[in-house]
Structure formats: C-alpha cells, structure tokens
A and B are shown apart, each in its own frame.
Chain A
C-alpha cells in the first residue's frame, strides 16, 4: 500500500523474519525525580509476539510510550527498524510512525467520526488511494475484526469490546509491521478477551506482524506470547518463552504469574514505619 514519502520505499525488502526490529538499550527515565525505568534492555524480532508484564507503576506503560515515540527517555536508545528514534524530530519520526500501529487501552477512537471514518483517516491522510479503494479497505479491516456491519455507527454506540476491535482495525489500516497493544484485555469479558487474543495471534501468523503487548491478564499473556518479559521496579526482571517463565524459580515472578497477595512484592508502598506514623513521629 503506497504510503507517502520515504516510508514505502524499502519497507518489505529490508527486514526478514527473525530480524530485530525493535531494540531498546539501557533506557532510563524518571518523572519528577522518581526513577521509573532504570536501564531497560528489550528486543523484538519480526513476526514475534512479545508480552510485557508487570505490576502497575513498574514502567511497562512508560516503555510502550517510549517505543511509539510519544516520550523521550532521559538516556539510552530506542531503535525501530534499525533507526534510533530518540534523537529524531517529530517530522523525522513520521515515516517510522506510519509503519506501526497502536491499540490504546480504551481504543481511543475519534468520537466525532464514524467507525468507517476512523479507519479511513490514516488512509486518507497518508496515502493517495482512491475513495473507492479506501472503502474496500475499510470493509476488509472491519471484516477481520468481525464488525463489517458497524461501519456507519459512531463510537458512542459501541460497547467497550467493540471499540477495542475497531481500534485494532484502525491500527492495522496501513498494514503496519509492528502493532503495540496497551492492555488489550482491560475491561473485556473472557470471551471478548479470547477474541482479541485470536486476532493478535492471527495477525502475527498471517501477516508476519510483530506484536508488543503490555498486559497483566496472565491467561491471555501465556496464550499469545512467543516471548515474555516481566518488568519490576523499572528493570526487566525475567525474560524468556512462556514455558521458561512458567517454570522459573524466581519468587517475584512466581508471585506475579500466580497472582498471590503474599510474597516478595510489597503491598505497602509507604517508606515510613507504620507505628511511628500513627504516633505522629
């Protein structure tokens, strides 16, 4: 699909299955002096599904925002398609952004537009395609997520799960090489979750798309992942295939994947002693 500018030139020839297309090296970042990422290293290969797990506030969403160029790290490098993106200007990033899609937590559909217009937007803005072809592509993408009849509805008429599916259809409108998923399972019922998982796996198998999924739905994580990383305290604590993660002896990993309240991950985040605090010390 002839994307405008430089992005369409050598997109298919450059990377073969198995090549690294996302590489983060020693990424560090802090908010208001509080370190969120303390030197994260990550690699994603073409066609593979990487699941990033971790508790809330342990840096996985920040990692995602760094990889899509929405934020810049304090130090370290983020490479997409072999290009360092942290030093690029907004406009230099555009050709790269056209090669990946993002499914946001809420779907992030444009509420003022219909479902069809949502999917058409990247096509109309970034390609020279004829309206007839665009309308065919809309139908194709909606069929892929099972919502072909919903083209003319507006987002407020859709349920949460449908919004996510439309969000996914929009994310794949330009046939991206990587898709980022921000908590695709949040707020979905188990059946819908399985449907979204099927879609993620299908895209990887059929189209060779690399998927980076941030989630803490354990069942779905083990179902879709080729490789998993667990982030804890701003670092990658464990990395491996689902089987390796499942059988690891690390107590933090085990507590997390089994969802236990008791274990090495502290419940209480206060730094001061409880008794001291009560006594006004």
Chain B
C-alpha cells in the first residue's frame, strides 16, 4: 500500500512538473516571437555562446558513445544475420537503427547529463545567489535573459550533434562490416540506403529536436524551482537528469508508435 502511495505521489509530482515545463515553453515562445515585436530582442550572441558550450563541447563524448555502440550493434546483428546468410544486411540495420532510433536517443541521453544537469546547476546557483532577483530588479526578465538563449541553443544543437552521432555510429558499424566481409564503403552505403526511407531521416531529426527541447526545459525548470541553498541545487541537478531521461524515453515511444504503427 505504501509503495502504491509513493508511486502515485511521484507520478503526480512528474505530472505537475511537466505542466510547469509546458508553461516555461509558452514563456519561451512569447519571448522568442512576441517579445522582439515589443522591442525585447533575443540575445543571439549569448545563444551562440551557449550553443558552443552545450553543443560543440559535447561532440567528443557523443563520438565515443555512438562509435562504440555502433561497433557493438554491428557485431551483434552480424552474428545473427550470418545464420540466414545475410550478413550484408548489417548495413541496413545500422542505417535504419541509427537514423531513426539510436543516435537521437543516445545523444539526447548524453545531453541530459551534459547540458541538462549543467543548466539546472547553473540556474539553480543563480537563484540561490539572488542573481535572478537582481535581474528582475533591474527590469530584465530571467526567462528572456537566461532561458531563451539556452533553450534555443539546445534545441538547435541537439539535432546537429545527433547528425554527427549518426555518422560516428554508422562508421563504427562499417569498420566491423569491413573487417568481417572485406566489403567497400560504397557497397555498405548502397545497402544502407536501400533499406532507409526519407521518413527515417526527418523523423530522426524531429525527434532529436524534441528531445533537445525536453533536455533544455527540464534542466531550466529544475534550476528555476530551486530552493534551500546548495542542497537544493544538488537535488535539482539529479532531478534534471532523471526527469529528462524518463521524459525522453516516453516521448520516443509515443512518437515512434504514432508515426510507424498508427
């Protein structure tokens, strides 16, 4: 009984939190679209700085993870396909798997740690240090000033980094392919394209943009609701990672089912 109560409570907590994120997203849209019409410009310079901080700096780790998952997946799949004498179809699995699913998901999960946690810690520390109140007192809206550049940067950068993740992962798969079958890149590439649809590419891109939005919104919302000093910042950072991974996986499932089955 106690477990059920606890489960219900954390479910409710996530529900309210998601509502809070949606409100933040509406604020974001306001300051992105309507704000500039009223003379409150979007801070593009800051957006670029944040894009470097969260996007460009994450490339090495995205490379490592996608590359090794690519190698592992290729070996695993090739092993099974060998039974059916269809090892060359490894290329198809790599293409479809990475574009549609693996790279968006893996990259988003990396970003929830790399960007989401650091957003929550950064904004949370600013809240605790009265910096947010100082911004408000000098007639600067913290959402416009801090959240819009960060969220914009993460929504733009996650798809770009995901695209690179595709390349790294598929290249990892190709190395296995080459070692086992001694086939050229051109042959691998043809097989891969045979199995892929244009839809796989745009679905992957769309997903990664949505995941980027989730990572950014969850990190920022957690940071904004910090209370209670350093301990609160620590809690927000943990929650940012946990909540964004949960929400990313749920969103992934919903999108995939909606677009490929329904």
B-binding residues in A (CB < 8 A): 68-70, 90-91, 93-95, 97-98, 100-102, 104-106, 108-111, 121-122, 125-126, 174
Most-contacted residue by chain A among B125, B129, B139, B140 (CB, 10 A): B139
- Expressed in whole angstroms, the Cα–Cα distance for A108 and B128 within the complex equals 9
- Tell me, yes or no, whether B133 is within 8 Å of chain A by CB: yes
B130 touches A106 (CB 8 A): yes
Find A97's partner among B38, B130, B137 (CB 8 Å cutoff). B137
- Tell me, yes or no, whether B79 is within 8 Å of chain A by CB: no
Across the A-B interface, give the 4 residue pairs with the lowest CB-CB distance, nearest first.
A108-B130, A97-B139, A108-B134, A94-B139
Give B31 Cβ to nearest chain A Cβ, in Å. 11
Give 30 pairs: A residue, B residue, CB < 8 Å, sorted on A.
A68-B137, A69-B136, A70-B133, A70-B137, A90-B141, A94-B139, A95-B139, A97-B136, A97-B137, A97-B139, A98-B139, A100-B137, A101-B138, A102-B137, A104-B133, A104-B134, A105-B130, A108-B130, A108-B133, A108-B134, A109-B131, A110-B126, A110-B131, A110-B134, A111-B125, A122-B138, A122-B140, A125-B139, A125-B140, A126-B138
Other CB < 8 Å A-B pairs besides A90-B141, A98-B139, 14 of them?
A: A68-B137, A70-B133, A95-B139, A97-B136, A97-B137, A102-B134, A108-B130, A108-B133, A109-B131, A111-B125, A121-B140, A125-B138, A126-B139, A174-B138
A93 touches B134 (CB 8 A): no
Q: Which residues of B contact A109 (CB under 8 A)?
A: 131
A-binding residues in B (CB < 8 A): 38, 125-126, 129-131, 133-134, 136-141
Give A102 Cβ to nearest chain B Cβ, in Å. 4
Q: Which residues of A contact B133 (CB under 8 A)?
A: 70, 104, 108
Q: Which residues of A contact B131 (CB under 8 A)?
A: 108-111
B138 touches A97 (CB 8 A): yes
Q: Which residues of B contact A100 (CB under 8 A)?
A: 137
Give B128 Cβ to nearest chain A Cβ, in Å. 9
- Expressed in whole angstroms, the Cα–Cα distance for A68 and B137 within the complex equals 7
Q: Decide yes or no: A93 and B139 within 8 Å by CB, A102-B134, A108-B134 being known contacts.
A: yes
Give A250 Cβ to nearest chain B Cβ, in Å. 33
Q: Which residues of A contact B38 (CB under 8 A)?
A: 91
Give A116 Cβ to nearest chain B Cβ, in Å. 16
Give B117 Cβ to nearest chain A Cβ, in Å. 17
- Expressed in whole angstroms, the Cα–Cα distance for A68 and B38 within the complex equals 23
B129 touches A111 (CB 8 A): yes
Give B115 Cβ to nearest chain A Cβ, in Å. 16
Q: Which residues of B contact A122 (CB under 8 A)?
A: 138-140
A106 touches B137 (CB 8 A): no
Give B214 Cβ to nearest chain A Cβ, in Å. 24
- Expressed in whole angstroms, the Cα–Cα distance for A104 and B129 within the complex equals 9
Q: Which residues of B contact A93 (CB under 8 A)?
A: 139
- Expressed in whole angstroms, the Cα–Cα distance for A93 and B137 within the complex equals 10
Q: Which residues of B contact A108 (CB under 8 A)?
A: 129-131, 133-134
- Expressed in whole angstroms, the Cα–Cα distance for A121 and B139 within the complex equals 11
- Expressed in whole angstroms, the Cα–Cα distance for A125 and B140 within the complex equals 8
B130 touches A70 (CB 8 A): no
Q: Which residues of B contact A97 (CB under 8 A)?
A: 136-139
Find A70's partner among B129, B136, B139, B141 (CB 8 Å cutoff). B136
